[in-house]
Amino acid sequence: MALARTLTAVGTVALARNGGRPFGSHLFSVWPGATLAATAFPVRCAPGDNLALHVAIAQAPPGSALVVDVSGESEYGYVDEILAVAARTRDIAGIVLDGCVRDVAAIAYSELPVFGAGVSVREVGQDAGGSVGRPIGMNALGPAPLSVRRGDWIVADDDGVVCLPRGQVSAIIAETMSSISREREIIDAVSAGASTLDLLGLDPSRVTGWEGPFEGEATDIAAPRGRPRSLGPRREPRSGEHPSMRPRRGSRSAFTDVYGGD
């Protein structure tokens, strides 16, 4: 799907900077390099029980991401090899949960993208209920839980997990593309030897111990503070590359499809 490829290639860091809502920093990729971009299918497990996850895998639309609230009881292995294989067989795009997993090697072998809060050998029950498809609250960066509804977009990679509320996806992507284009210009200028102090309009005199440029070093810090100077002409894009950016390191997706429906 074009939109999923675009979100995966853009990455969570850029999306979080431009309106994506970050999940808590405690979540990590179970296996390095996993990426996920899909619409959310919310799941709420009863504490220490994963019956709702089994139901969700049987019921969720293929291509969706299971986003799992474990009711504050994270120290259980809610996702194991059996669930990972079942989810993969049902074409579930991936799983994000506020709890622990087990059978890490087997999950990695299945290549199902799973993002969790830790690893625990503690087994769960499978009879305490829960809910599927209903709004949930996930731990987030901030004072309040992050509400996740069915149809929100979830993007996850090695840097973290973000939620793009349904109806706001196109606007967030537009802001993100503009931001990445500017960042790419800065990176190109830094690679050519420019100072980040100059490019970002930073005031080094605020830092104790700043001694100024070394003798003989060119200074171009006279630009107004807070306003990046012009970076000159931009490079020509490579063949097949979107003109506003380069792919993220490790990304297997191209930027040829920039926009899609929410």
pLDDT (tens digit, 9 = 90+) per residue, 173-198?
999 988 888 888 899 999 999 999 99
Domains in the chain and their CATH numbers? 20-166 (3.50.30.40), 168-245 (no CATH)
pTM, full prediction: 0.78
Reported as a single tens digit per residue, the pLDDT across 136-155 is 999 877 778 899 999 999 99
- Whether residue 233 has pLDDT greater than 50: no
Task: Say what the pLDDT of residue 243 is.
Answer: 39
- What are the angstrom distances between the C-alpha of 96 and each of 20, 65, 163, 204, 240? 16, 7, 11, 41, 32
Rounded to an integer, what distance in angstroms lies between the CA atom of residue 43 and that of residue 184? Answer: 38
Burial of 36 (0-12, 13-18, 19+ CB in 10 A): buried
Give the pLDDT mean for 202-211.
92
Question: Which residue has better confidence, 246 or 159?
Answer: 159
Can you tell me whether residue 105 is helix, strand or coil?
Answer: helix
Residue 166 — very low, low, confident or very high, per pLDDT cuts 50/70/90?
Answer: very high
Quote the tokens at residue 186: 């800065």
Taking only Cα atoms into account, the Rg of the chain, rounded to an integer number of angstroms, comes to 22
Reported as a single tens digit per residue, the pLDDT across 109-131 is 999 999 999 999 999 999 999 99
Query: What letter represents residue 231's amino acid?
Result: L
Query: What letter represents residue 98's amino acid?
Result: D
Task: Collect all residues with Cβ–Cβ distance below 8 Å to 11 and sequence separation of at least 6.
Answer: 155, 157, 159, 248, 251
Quote the tokens at residue 257: 């499809």
- What are the angstrom distances between the C-alpha of 121 and each of 45, 50, 101, 102, 104? 18, 14, 8, 6, 10
Task: Say what the pLDDT of residue 157 is.
Answer: 97
- Whether residue 254 has pLDDT greater than 50: no
Percent of the chain topping pLDDT 90: 70
Q: Which residue has the tokens 């102090």?
A: 197
- Whether residue 231 has pLDDT greater than 70: no
Give the pLDDT mean for 196-204.
91
Distance of CA 147 to the CA centre of its chain: 16
Reported as a single tens digit per residue, the pLDDT across 57-110 is 999 999 999 999 999 899 999 999 999 999 999 999 999 999 999 999 999 999
